[in-house]
Amino acid sequence: MRFELAALDRRFVIVEQSVELPMGRVVFEKPRNFDDLISEADFVHDDRLPYWADLWPAAIVLAEFLERRALRAGSTDDATGVGSDRPAPRALELGCGLGLVTVSAMRAGFEVLATDYYADATLLTARNCVRVIGREPLIRMVDWRDFPSDLGTFEMVLAADVLYEKSYAPLVAEAISLSLAPGGYALVADQGRAALGLFLEEAGARGLVARVVHFDPHPTNPPPPEGSEVHPITIYEVRHG
């Protein structure tokens, strides 16, 4: 794994980006330019674009939410059993991207399995977790269209800005339905993407119940570039009914 993480420097020009979060600033690494990662072969094969290489506002808002909630509950890294004999609760991230949400879930005390359709995203997530908190999450490349049956179940499932294609709505709903442990919940952060309404319908068809637990009408962390459009971010909690 260490060799693979180091190999990222040979494939990408890596730059740093920082985000202020409730548990402290996160300085993480990302590819310098999204366009450098576009593969014509990948796009022809399945319309794949490397959206993982950018930090999206929904991921920041979800990371903030996780850390604020953990601080209020006193359930931070040490309080939930990391480094003790008590096992940490398990979390699954669907579409980990650069790893910011996984970092916050680990800081909140969860053992995280970070998954993405891009192997490089899982590797950079692992590298950023080592950089920020000194240890790696579990990582795995996962295709939602062929969702693995051996992942197990999780107390928490996380997804930030994954509903940008309507075809993803049933896939994400099914992944959540299969992955939630009894009594578990998913947190889905979205900026009003095209597939959101259909996802909520697909979730309901699978016996899942969604409710809004957080709404940020004007996310400003970090401040958006001058003149850029800012979208409200909503976090939905999804549970088995």
| pLDDT, tens digit, 9 for 90 and up, residues 57-100 | 999 999 999 999 999 998 666 434 344 567 899 999 999 999 99
Fold observed for domain 2-240: Rossmann fold (3.40.50)
In the chain, where are the structural domains located? 2-240
The pTM of this model reads: 0.88
Residue 32 confidence (pLDDT): 77
Question: Can you read off the two tokens belonging to residue 128?
Answer: 């950023």
Residue 43 confidence (pLDDT): 41
The answer to whether 164 and 59 have CB atoms below 8 angstroms apart is no
Residue 191 confidence (pLDDT): 95
Residue 48 confidence (pLDDT): 52
Residue-wise pLDDT tens digits, 1-27: 554 656 666 667 889 999 999 999 999
Which residue numbers in the chain have pLDDT < 70? 1-11, 34-50, 75-85, 224-228
Residue 227 confidence (pLDDT): 61
The answer to whether 25 and 64 have CB atoms below 8 angstroms apart is no
CA-to-CA separations, 237 to 67, 73, 83, 89, 178, in angstroms, rounded: 16, 17, 28, 17, 16
β-pair partners for 93: 114, 158
The answer to whether 235 and 62 have CB atoms below 8 angstroms apart is yes
